Amino acid sequence: MPIEDERDARSERKRQDVLDAARRRFMTEGYASTGMEAVARDAGVSTATLYAYFPSKSDLFHVVVEEAAEVFMRRAGETAHVQGDGATQLRAFALAYARFISDPFVRAIFRLVAAERRRFETVARRFHTRLRDEFGGVLIGILRRLHAEGRVSLTKPSWAAGQLMGMIEHPTFLVPLVAGDDAPVERPLEDICEEAVETFLARYGVRDGVGAEAA
């Protein structure tokens, strides 16, 4: 590897070490209680090196949230390529979304962003908008295809998508978010998703279409 490339790779590793350390600190201690010196110490770099990468703590917070959003976006994109009939696509999306939204790391990031919303209103709004548009956009695309094929009957796909996602979010995300990560999800994710899809198809499925496939 050329010397310049090796230097760039080493610099990128240090930068990522800083981001990882900052994310852990922000998630456990909150923004206000996190010190830049502690982040530098955790990352194994000098404070001068840290400030060379991130001029302020607010800049560091912004990048931590953006990086988390990018990871989440990639996970959302994976749900767009499910093959199979309509019911299979809906179940696959539901399970992928349930696994994502029930991940303790995901909840921790949501808690962090929510806690700092007043301080970083633009960052929080962008974070939530990107997630809503990405996951919701994937599901809306699936529903539009199913509607065009005559498998579901929808007046507004975005409303229907919100209803299906809401049935998944309540037991897998909202309850643990309020009760704490130690509160287990009482039912297997597969059962939660199966019931959500069945309820959804009972409302929107067309006879001999997706509803018939789910039966």
Buried b (16+ CB within 10 A) or exposed e, 31-53: beebebeebbeebebeeebbeeb
Co-location of 100 and 196 in the same domain: yes
> Are 48 and 141 in a shared domain?
no
Cα separations (Å) of 118 from 44, 54, 122, 185?
A: 31, 21, 9, 30
The DSSP 8-state label assigned to residue 173 in this structure reads I
DSSP state of 184: -
- Indicate whether 69 and 49 sit together in one domain: no
pLDDT for 85 equals 74
In this structure, are 1 and 85 located in the same domain?
no
The secondary structure element, H or E, covering residue 147 is helix 121-148
Task: Judge whether residue 55 has pLDDT over 90.
Answer: yes
> Which pLDDT tens digit goes with each residue over 137-193?
989 999 998 999 898 999 999 999 999 999 999 888 888 777 766 666 678 999 999
Is pLDDT at 5 greater than 70 in this prediction? no
Query: Cα(141)–Cα(157) distance, rounded to whole angstroms?
Result: 9
Q: Is 146 found in the same domain as 210?
A: yes
Read off the pTM.
0.79
In terms of residue numbers, what domain contains 95?
61-214
Residue pLDDT, tens place only, 6-35? 666 888 999 999 999 999 999 999 999 999
List, for residues 63-85, the tens digit of each pLDDT value: 999 999 888 888 777 766 666 77
Q: Average pLDDT for residues 99-126, to the nearest whole number? A: 90
CA–CA dist 24, 34 (Å, integer): 10
pLDDT score at 213: 45
Separation of alpha carbons 171 and 184, rounded Å: 10
**In a shared domain, residues 17 and 32:** yes
**Lowest-pLDDT range of 40-49, 59-68, 94-103, 175-184:** 175-184
* pLDDT, position 200: 96
SS3 140: helix
